[in-house]
Amino acid sequence: MEPLFGIAGANPDELEVSSSKAAEVAEIEGDLDGLTSAFSRIEQGYLRESLFGSAARFSCALCGALLPRELLVAAHIKKRSVRSPSERRDAANIVMAACNVGCDVLFERGFISVDTTGRVVSAGKTGGSVLADRLDALNGRACSAFTAESGGYFLWHFECSFRG
């Protein structure tokens, strides 16, 4: 049986290193849980609430799939780290619903973007793979989050994150 996502043909030396690292976990002494402190994005809960409200199901802005809320994220169109403070407060236009069954990571990693007409564009062909099939299925779809107000954020993503 063919493994998913191209594991076949992996370098055996790399697999050996992974096995070695896995064995090291068994050797860790003490508790495996630790206390950390981190900054939190205060607005994230507000953004999710403004986007999804009380809906139990919602549609992905990129693929259009109607999914349970827990399979969707409030995806940042323009990376939060490069937005101005006023852009961070533009809750109606800086996020879109993106599904956790592919669209969020494809958008985040630049495999797909949204062009100036509001259509999803994909980054090239990868030769009949599962990824190529998914990119082909998304290419040309209307993005439901694209508006005149969100267009500038999508333009930033297209120019700065898209691999196409």
pLDDT band at 20 (very low <50, low <70, confident <90, very high): confident
Give the DSSP H/E element, type plus range, for residue 58.
Answer: strand 57-59
> Which residue range forms the structural domain that includes residue 86?
42-160
Q: Has residue 149 been placed in a domain?
A: yes
Instruction: Quote the CA–CA distance of 107 and 100 in Å, as a whole number.
Output: 11
Q: Has residue 139 been placed in a domain?
A: yes
Instruction: Quote the CA–CA distance of 97 and 50 in Å, as a whole number.
Output: 11
**Are the C-beta atoms of 72 and 98 separated by less than 8 Å?**
yes
> How confident is the model over 95-125, as pLDDT tens digits?
999 999 999 999 999 999 999 999 999 987 6
**Are the C-beta atoms of 62 and 103 separated by less than 8 Å?**
yes
Instruction: Quote the CA–CA distance of 90 and 75 in Å, as a whole number.
Output: 14
Taking the model in full, what pTM does it have? Answer: 0.78
Per-residue burial over 16-48, b if 16 or more Cβ lie within 10 Å, else e, is eeeeeeeeeeeeeeeeeeeeeeeeeeebeeebb
Q: Has residue 21 been placed in a domain?
A: no
Pick the more confident residue, 45 or 93: 93
pLDDT band at 13 (very low <50, low <70, confident <90, very high): low
Q: Has residue 90 been placed in a domain?
A: yes
Q: Has residue 15 been placed in a domain?
A: no
Q: What is the largest CA-CA distance in the chain?
A: 56
Q: Tokens 């096995």 belong to which residue?
A: 19
Long-range contacts of 52-57 (CB under 8 A, 24+ apart): 52/97
What total of structural domains would you count in the chain? Answer: 1
Q: Has residue 36 been placed in a domain?
A: no
> How confident is the model over 35-92, as pLDDT tens digits?
887 766 677 788 889 899 999 999 999 999 999 999 999 999 999 999 999 998 998 9
Q: Has residue 7 been placed in a domain?
A: no
CB count, 10 Å around CB of 69?
Answer: 16
Q: Has residue 6 been placed in a domain?
A: no
